[in-house]
Structure 1
């Protein structure tokens, strides 16, 4: 499996993977697919932080993106959606994508990455409750599911409410 930056010809495959990853009988039209399309058209899109996992035969098996957010006036990034096609789930594809996007965000000079997700899953990557760092979620009800991973450019004065890229506000 190769992790690389997304290229324009990957977009239809990424949309397919995202839809496949999040579709269920209870969720036949996943919001993540619409969100991803809206994020691509937003000023918060960071091409360097949109990565795909590609199989040996060139198929897109997974995708992750970080988009521009902020903690107060400090630029930061929000991770998500993270999508792995069901055929490739539970094989380390998501783990590889998260490690790669964290490394890319670090190289990009970001102070932290924020996300909404399972503490059990994301804790293995060094994510902790945002409140541990004084970073609060847009919705207080998210509690421990709102998490932050600090990077080398983080300083403890980065505190306050996290804001995702604008398309997240329309969910």
Structure 2
């Protein structure tokens, strides 16, 4: 398996993958909207490829943390693995590769709304423990944060997702 940055040539395969993984088109539309926005980070849009076939995708893009000041932070959404390739470590490999690239870029934190047993393996913890509030009415354990750099001060407030996420 190879993990690499997505290219425009991959877009149709990624859309098909997202449709297969989520069984509806919201995530594919979300990715398209993010790509067209100023929140898109090309280096943090990765695909997993097996024998030339895109089998997984992860996207980190900028969201806002609004507290004493507004800080751009990473939001991890979506992460998808084609159903035929799930439970083979592809999702984990994508998260690890994405977080390593984010760290290299000097990004401070990443936030995810997701499954705690999966994301906690990568250092994600409930964000409320750090004074980071979800904009969604979800149980605290599902809205998580991980720190990519040692500095943890100043990262508190309410998360605001950009307009690309509206309607999801």
Distance 2:98 2:5 in 1: 10
Superposition map of 1:41-56 within 5 A: 41-55=36-50
2:65 is aligned to 71
Task: Give the counterpart of 1:37 among 26, 32, 39.
Answer: 32
8 A contact 1:112–1:154 mirrored in 2: no
**Shift of residue 142, structure 1, vs aligned partner:** 4.2
Distance 1:121 1:157 in 2: 27
**Shift of residue 166, structure 1, vs aligned partner:** 2.2
Superposition map of 1:5-44 within 5 A: 5-23=5-23, 29-44=24-39
Distance 2:2 2:57 in 1: 12
Superposition map of 1:1-171 within 5 A: 1-23=1-23, 29-55=24-50, 57-72=51-66, 73-152=70-149, 154-171=151-168
Query: RMSD value over aligned CA atoms?
Result: 1.3
Cα deviation code 1:117-166 (max 9, x no counterpart): 01111111100001111111112434211000111164222110112232
Q: Could you list the runs of 5+ residues in structure 2 that have no partner in the other structure? A: none
State the TM-score, normalized to the length of structure 2: 0.93
Count of residue correspondences: 165
Where 2:12 maps in the other structure, the secondary structure is helix
Cα deviation code 1:33-67 (max 9, x no counterpart): 22112111111111011000011x21101000001
Where 1:97 maps in the other structure, the secondary structure is helix
Runs of 4+ residues over 6 Å off in structure 1:
none
8 A contact 1:75–1:110 mirrored in 2: no
